[in-house]
Amino acid sequence: MKKFVSIAVALAFVFGVTLVLAATAPEKVTLKANPKKVVEFPHKIHSDQFKCEVCHHKWDKKGELKACLDCHKKTDGDAPKYYKAFHDLKVDNSCVGCHTKMGKDGKKAGPTKCAGCHPKK
């Protein structure tokens, strides 16, 4: 009986491995789509309350104002990456950093949690 069980287990293993190796990989795999909506930035609220250079911190007050992505899309140099430019708690001119600091200072502040800016679809 013991020999029969050993042979059965060995055969099951061999056939199992064969089935796994024989399976073909699909050409395409659909990954879960982003469950969040794009962020709609309330620019007027910010520009009514703050000087432009608070967010446009590299602006020389002479030239044309640049959008965040003009600097933060870069992967080289000293500009923080796109994600960190908005979410870094350690700097006051990131969205979350500024909102967190304002809240700690007892001022009305914008969202600091993901869903505040990224509502579900």
Phi and psi at residue 9, to the nearest 5°: -65, -40
pLDDT at 8 over 70: no
Listed by start position, the domains of the chain span 43-117
The pLDDT tens digits for 32-43 are 666 667 788 888
Q: Residue 120 forms beta bridges with which residues?
A: 36
pTM over 0.75: no
Q: Which of 39, 35, 66, 70 is nearest to 53 (CA)?
A: 66
pLDDT at 65: 84
Q: Which of 82, 76, 81, 103 is nearest to 92 (CA)?
A: 103
CATH superfamily of this structure's domain 43-117: Cytochrome C3 (3.90.10.10)
Q: Could you give the 3-state DSSP secondary structure of residue 36? A: strand
